[in-house]
Amino acid sequence: MKDIINNTADHVRKQLQNAEGGHDWFHIERVWKNAKLIAAKEHCDIEVVQLAALLHDIADSKFHGGNEEIGPTMAREFLENAGLKPQKVDHIVAIVENVSFKGGHNTRSHSSIELDIVQDADRLDAIGAIGIARTFNYGGYKNRAIYDPAIAPNLNMTKEEYKKSTAPTINHFYEKLLLLIDRMNTQTGKDIALERHRFMETFLDQFYAEWDGLR
């Protein structure tokens, strides 16, 4: 197992060497660490968890014209070439297909404890201090406003509206980040998410106070 994990890590690191800062190798590495931490408390296939965590964002659709098939396809090709058993390949690809938030409207087409773990691990990296940093990094990458009081968050976006949104970065907290605590799957994920969620709430309180010249 160790060889295929290390080989997968090396492969993903090379694939993402020029990626946007919030979706680069370091994002993958953090999700991988989170996944192993959560998996230690669950009865699961740790090989599937690690490989899915490593491959979950090998080709994020946001950076490939909205193509949601390229990531799972690349993951499948790599795993098949690595000689992994077909049943495990199918399981990992199903996780890659279902892990994303996608506006919060997607219905999972697959269910397993391994998906629960990897999804929680990915969501943890979207909240807290790292989540804040990633959110503003991506907002800058897309040249979005930091905040515009005249543009309210849209809490009823369709999946397509979510993907095409150009709203200010602060809106993303309400449209995704603050919602994730109630969408965690595992108890470990929920426990870690609580502290990170509170940190984001404190950040937003400070942000608005500074914006309004109160502090």
Quick one: pLDDT band at residue 106, thresholds 50, 70, 90? low
> What pLDDT score does 61 carry?
65
Q: Which CATH number do you get for residue 30?
A: 1.10.3210.50
pLDDT in tens, 18-34: 888 888 999 999 999 99
pLDDT in tens, 38-49: 999 999 999 999
> What pLDDT score does 149 carry?
96
The alpha-carbon radius of gyration of the chain (Å, integer) is 17
CA dist list (Å): 169 to 60, 122, 208, 212: 19, 19, 14, 17
Domains in the chain, number: 1
> What pLDDT score does 164 carry?
80
The closest alpha carbon to 169, from 146, 152, 202, 200, belongs to 146
> What pLDDT score does 101 carry?
65
In this structure, the chain runs to a length of 215
- Indicate the pTM of the whole model: 0.91
Q: Please state the rounded mean pLDDT for residues 2-7.
A: 90
> What pLDDT score does 103 carry?
47
Q: 8-22, 26-40, 63-77: which range is least confident on average?
A: 63-77
**Sign of the alpha-carbon torsion through 57, 16, 82, 35:** negative
Spell 152-182 as b/e; 16+ CB within 10 A means b. ebeeebeeeebeebebbbbbbbebbbbbbbe
Indicate if the pLDDT at residue 50 is higher than 90.
yes
> What pLDDT score does 147 carry?
98
Find the domain containing 116 and state its range: 2-211
CA dihedral 6, 13, 122, 45 (to 10 degrees): -20
